[in-house]
Amino acid sequence: MIQRARLIAVSAIVLCGAMAVISSTQTWLHVALVDGGSDDLAVSGADAVVVLAPLSLAVLALGLALTIVGTILRYAFGVLTVIIGAIVGWLSAAIAFEQPTSAVVATVSVATGISGQSAVSALVSSITPTAWPAMTMVAGGLLVAVGIFTLATARTWSGSSRRFRTDQSAPAATAGADSSRPHDAIDSWDDLSRGDDPTARPLD
């Protein structure tokens, strides 16, 4: 498992980021107004949690960047993943369990023309959550776990930063480290980036 740690971490972070991006476009809350004269208003994840979309995109960027950075940045990105995961999980949990009126103010204001949290609160009869806040909360928790996993295993990952070394020094520095480790998909990407053709490698 340790030999595949980088692939596991990168895949999990990208998948959680993609799920959060998708979630930001879905309906998180249904709002019923006191007059009952209109259908329930649908509040998207991006409207309920304004920072959800940018944080989700940041997670995707972190996951992709982990395929090429060196050891020091792996630790930095691992910490960022934990922090972002905790923020996403916390904010999503607040929506899933509390359904605060503040999460629907923007949507209600656009629909009714009435602004201000106190005025909107007086208009809202009920707020019903969908499954998306809970799913995003789980994704945030997974990001925290993957960030911790990244911090715990970062030193054992194969050095993708070898592409930035000279051709003379790279083989000597990495020959002993990679010879006993299975060649994974990210390693093949590294080879292509250096101009090597991994399909030309002789079979073991």
pLDDT of amino acid 91: 96
Q: Nearest to residue 33, comparing CAs of 25, 43, 41? A: 41
Assign 3-state DSSP to the chain and report helix, strand, coil percentages, each to 5. Answer: 70, 10, 25
Containing 124, the helix (H) or strand (E) segment is strand 124-129
Q: How far is CA 148 from CA 6, 47, 81, 157, in A?
A: 13, 29, 8, 15
Q: What strands, in cross-sheet order, belong to the sheet with 124-129? A: 41-44, 27-33, 124-129
- Residues 164-203 have pLDDT tens digits of 444 444 444 444 445 555 555 566 656 655 656 556 655 5
pTM over 0.85: no
Q: What span, in angstroms and rounded, lies between the C-alpha atoms of 56 and 53? A: 5
Which tokens is 162 given? 């070898």
pLDDT at 11 over 90: yes
CA torsion 77-78-79-83 (nearest 10°) is 100
- Residues 101-131 have pLDDT tens digits of 889 998 888 888 888 888 888 888 889 999 9
pLDDT of amino acid 38: 63
